[in-house]
Amino acid sequence: MKLEKSLKMILAASVALLCATAGAQNYPTKSVNVIIPFPPGGTLDIVGRMLAQKLSEQTGQTFVVENRAGGGGTIGANAVAKAPADGYTLLFSASTFTIAPMLVTGIPYNIEKDFIPVSLVAKAPLAVAIGNHVPANNIKELIAYGNANPGKLSFAIGSSGSAGHLSTELLKKAGKFTAVTIPYKGSSPAYTDLVGGRIDGFIDPILGSQPFAKAGKLKVIAVTSKDRLSSMPNIPAVSESVPGYEFYSWYGLWAPAGTPAAVVNKLSAESLAALKGDMAKKLVEQGLIVDPGTAADFAKFQKADMTMSQTIIKEANIRAQ
């Protein structure tokens, strides 16, 4: 009797597993909700919508983008963390998603326990921009000026703990110079003060500084990627003057923890396919780096990036504003 009951339980479990596996293999069978935890219009939103469109075309099911802003991105992320782990609610966000819990207490989710990395979609190098009034035209000269004038240089930061903030602290450490960091409520007022000569530098996503640089209102002296960008070959990488320097903002796709591996792998494969076509060309033209891999590759990248960010935050004693 006990043996018969055990066999029935094993059979039932096997049938359930087969059904779940079959369902995962057929995924998606209905529309998928992609939550972007910030307002529409920014680079994050543009890239997320490009990916959603490609996934819709490739799978035959609609990937619907929903901008659920608020709480510095935590409201939308929390909605995904609490969603059913079936692959039909996903998060598309930026590296600020992984940095926020290092600075803000009370965030209602754990990134490593409540989410599964699916795909690294793009890396966004930053531009080192300085005012025309600064007597430097490259990174070596900027570092030399900073060393000769301790504490005189001032750098804007868009927000505490942002990619620009962390990359600024990393440059200060690597170049062994001091500089005052001044928080701004967004990039626009920071550029106004940089162009006006009220601050000296600003490390920010490339697209923000380009219009001012082309107009001759400021100098972009380097990019934070490991190598020069194919879209901007005349601008050197910081690493050419500071060996080993490398920093990015980046964009990725996540699923709730517990999502079947077959679904995660399917999403990862579809994202990889999307990033090998015309979408990749468009992203590169915008100064982004496309270096897609598997879900496991993204998990490894995320872990390394979080470790580096935590080190910078600790050493620079960064606190949330």
The angle at the Cα of 47, spanning 41 to 49, to the nearest 5 degrees, equals 75
Antiparallel, parallel or unpaired: β 154-157 and 180-183: parallel
In this prediction, residues 199-224 reach a mean pLDDT of 94
Strands 89-94, 32-36: pairing kind: parallel
The answer to whether 127 and 223 have CB atoms below 8 angstroms apart is yes
Which pLDDT belongs to residue 86? 98
Domains of the chain: 26-123+249-315 (3.40.190.150), 125-240 (3.40.190.10)
Q: Are strands 63-67 and 32-36 parallel, antiparallel or unpaired?
A: parallel
How do residues 110-158 score in pLDDT, each as one tens digit?
999 999 999 999 999 999 999 999 999 999 999 999 999 998 999 999 8
Q: Which two structure tokens, joined as six digits, stand for 102?
A: 């290092």
Encoded tokens for 107? 């965030």
Predicted pLDDT at 5:
52
Residue 70 zone, left/alpha/beta (φ > 0; ψ -120 to 50; rest): left
| SS3 per-residue string spanning the chain | CHHHHHHHHHHHHHHHHHHHHHHHHCCCCCCEEEEECCCCCCHHHHHHHHHHHHHHHHHCCCEEEEECCCHHHHHHHHHHHCCCCCCCEEEEEECHHHHHHHHCCCCCCCHHHHEEEEEEEEEEEEEEEEECCCCCCCHHHHHHHHHHCCCCCEEEECCCCCHHHHHHHHHHHHHCCCCEEEECCCHHHHHHHHHCCCCCEEEEEHHHHHHHHHCCCEEEEEECCCCCECCECCCCEHHHCCCCCCCEEEEEEEEECCCCHHHHHHHHHHHHHHCCCHHHHHHHHCCCECCCCCHHHHHHHHHHHHHHHHHHHHHCCCCCC
Q: List, in sequence order, every residue forming a beta bridge with 320; answer none if it has no partner.
A: none
Q: What does pTM read for this prediction? A: 0.87
Residue 85 neighbours by CB distance under 10 Å: 17
Has residue 173 got a pLDDT over 60?
yes
Confidence of residue 207 (pLDDT cuts 50, 70, 90): confident
pLDDT greater than 80 at residue 200: yes
- Report whether the peptide linkage leading into residue 260 is cis, meaning its omega lies within 30 degrees of zero: no
Distance CA 70, CA 144 (A): 42
For residue range 10-64, list pLDDT tens digits in order. Answer: 454 444 444 445 457 799 999 999 999 999 988 899 999 999 999 999 999 999 9
Region class of 185: left (phi > 0), else alpha (psi between -120 and 50), else beta: beta
Q: In the predicted model, what is the mean pLDDT of the chain? A: 91
Other Cβ atoms within 10 Å of 246 Cβ, number: 17
Dihedral sign of CA atoms 197, 225, 313, 39 in order: positive
Asked if 74 and 108 count as a contact pair (C-beta separation under 8 A), the reply is yes
d(C-alpha 201, C-alpha 203), whole Å: 7
Residues 6+ apart with CB under 8 A from 248: 95, 123, 124, 125, 126, 163, 224, 225, 289
